[in-house]
Structure 1
Amino acid sequence: MWPLPRPAFSARTSYDTCVGSTQSKNRREKLQKAADSAEQAGRRFRKAAAKSTLHKLRPEAFQLQGITGGDAVTWAYENGMVSTMKGRRIYDRLMAAPAHDICPLCGQGMVKSLDHFLPKSEFAALCVDPLNLIPACVDCNKAKGDQAPESPETVTLHPYLDNIDDHPWLTARVVQEAPTWLEYFITPPGHWDTLLTSRASHHFEVFNLAELYSAQAGRTLNSIRLQLTDLLEETGPQSVRAYLEGEARTRRAARLNGWETAAYQAWAEDDWFCAGGWTGI
């Protein structure tokens, strides 16, 4: 949901680096002979991404020549990228890409692993392709699992390829009941096409962002409840609104589509809330 700069490493550079330190001569030679198939897989992956046809890719076309899928993942990714000094440099560079270690898939969790955008269990030739490796938090990595997209609409948003953060799209609504809470949803900008809207909605659902953001907003409200009550009692609803609008501006400057931005904006715009809706009365 939040963009990252494309990795500086090509598919071929990453592959050659990861397999070049393989200690077994026979295994190293076998992996090196398969380098062209890894490079070709990377080109097919990029071409499909550009044409919005990732859902049409078939696992059988993304295997390393002469190497079974399980061996490819173990030898190239687990041993070559994660466990060797040279490969680990690429791994660490990819992990360090998000600002403040914030997961780009949810904008909330801390990056703890690399998620394979197309699952390595099926697309073994892409197992060390930097464009297929997304820094992610544990929850997002688990939520996505090993599912490959089945249609254009079920391709989750790709932080390297989909930049949707230029315009506001994340919205929250105050639910006027006791205790109050926020409902989060997507409000697509006018220039989004139907496919992008569907993909963003699917991403929102896969990673359970509505519930995640609502829970975070509830914790934030609990922490500012006393301050809001004091403002209301001292100078009335307008002071509450002014405070919330100021907080919304501050957070908008840091992250246009952050859950905090949407939360403070929703609270500020709701008359019922500014008149004391958080009190539960």
Structure 2
Amino acid sequence: MRGTQNLQRRSLLQGAGDSVEAAGERFRQAAQEGTLHDLDRSEFTVPGISASDAVRWAYENGMVSTRDGRAVYDRIMAAPPDETCPLCGHGSVRTLDHFLPKRMFPALCVDPLNLVPACADCNHAKGDGLPSTAGTTPLHPYLDRIDHDPWLGAKVTVSSPIWLDFFVSPPVTWEQVLIDRTRYHFALFGLARLFAVQANRTVSSIRKQLTELLNAGGKDMVRTYLSAEADTRLAHRLNGWEAVTYRTLARDDAFCSGAFTAA
């Protein structure tokens, strides 16, 4: 608001402060309770300001285009480790996604918890869709922390070339709604295909090394190498596609015995 020279506009924005703060609290409470799909959009307007003006004044002009606002924007963008998109765990952060669409929930357009750094592909895949049920609510990377449990699974499909099929393999301790949300998130962002393509590239890049290991010490030497690579990556990220790729390959007897030689 300090960058707003229009006095009437500044007055409207300042007058909406309490309403915007209350909207943020409703958002947080609903996220904690798993009821984001039940939110009433009429409770997330900005008093006296249209949705398009609220977004333009507060987000596009206030956050993106002013020095102080841009500093906040840049801090949010820089939050993910190694600039890795927290929605897919693979792409590079290139944009800020509004978890709840800013034009439908203008009161949340600059709420830090509603701003999620994302790669361009994930931002496009998510679009402006709204959850219709608890089970069709994407995972929020800062509220739904699930990576302390192993949930990403894969299996080897012996073909030419070798292909890995990735899927959600939830722990038995998870509630059904979390399973549904994880599977929905997985499908929404196309993670099965994304991870499979990357896994296939990994296999291609290490095929020569695996062949040399197989010739030198048989399948046990291949398995030892793959297991060591898996352990290193699993320690860094339990559900990373690369870690799960190496673990899956190490557990597959046909692969360790030379199935990777198929072109």
- The TM-score range, normalised by the shorter chain, is over 0.9
Q: 2:101 aligns with which of 108, 116, 119?
A: 119
Q: 2:209 aligns with which of 223, 227, 232?
A: 227
Mapped partners of 1:88, 1:248: distance in 2? 39
Mapped partners of 1:149, 1:90: distance in 2? 28
TM-score of the aligned structures, taking structure 2 as reference length: 0.98
Helix, strand or coil: the match of 1:173?
strand
Which structure's relative contact order is higher, taking Cα pairs within 8 Å and 6+ residues apart? 1
Mapped partners of 1:235, 1:83: distance in 2? 61
Q: CA RMSD in A?
A: 0.9
Q: Tell me whether 137-146 or 43-52 shows the greater mean CA deviation.
A: 43-52
Mapped partners of 1:137, 1:23: distance in 2? 33
- What residue is the counterpart of 1:49 in the other structure? 31
Q: State how 1:74-223 maps to structure 2 within 5 Å.
A: 74-223=56-205
Mapped partners of 1:107, 1:52: distance in 2? 23
CA deviation after TM superposition for structure 1 residue 178, in Å: 2.1
Helix, strand or coil: the match of 1:215?
helix
CA deviation after TM superposition for structure 1 residue 177, in Å: 2.0
Mapped partners of 1:269, 1:20: distance in 2? 59
Helix, strand or coil: the match of 2:86?
coil
- What residue is the counterpart of 1:10 in the other structure? none
Helix, strand or coil: the match of 1:172?
strand
CA deviation after TM superposition for structure 1 residue 219, in Å: 0.8
Alignment gaps of 5+ in structure 2: none
Mapped partners of 1:279, 1:184: distance in 2? 21
Q: State how 1:249-260 maps to structure 2 within 5 Å.
A: 249-260=231-242
Q: Runs in 1 of length 4+ with deviation above 3 angstroms?
A: none
Q: 2:5 aligns with which of 19, 23, 46?
A: 23
Helix, strand or coil: the match of 1:236?
helix
Mapped partners of 2:149, 2:36: distance in 1? 25
Mapped partners of 1:220, 1:176: distance in 2? 15
CA deviation after TM superposition for structure 1 residue 58, in Å: 2.1
Mapped partners of 2:8, 2:103: distance in 1? 23
Output one character per residue of 1:56-93: Cα deviation in whole Å (capped at 9) or x when no partner. Answer: 11222111000000000000000000111111111111
CA deviation after TM superposition for structure 1 residue 133, in Å: 0.4
Instruction: Provide the identity percentage.
Output: 56
CA deviation after TM superposition for structure 1 residue 221, in Å: 0.8
Q: 1:60 aligns with which of 21, 42, 46?
A: 42
Helix, strand or coil: the match of 1:37?
helix
Mapped partners of 2:142, 2:6: distance in 1? 34
Output one character per residue of 1:103-128: Cα deviation in whole Å (capped at 9) or x when no partner. Answer: 11001000111100000010000000
TM-score of the aligned structures, taking structure 1 as reference length: 0.92
Are 1:268 and 2:260 matched, yes or no?
no
Mapped partners of 1:272, 1:125: distance in 2? 55
Helix, strand or coil: the match of 1:224?
helix
Helix, strand or coil: the match of 1:22?
coil
Mapped partners of 1:28, 1:158: distance in 2? 32
Alignment gaps of 5+ in structure 1: 1-18
Mapped partners of 1:94, 1:244: distance in 2? 36
CA deviation after TM superposition for structure 1 residue 169, in Å: 0.8
Helix, strand or coil: the match of 1:221?
helix
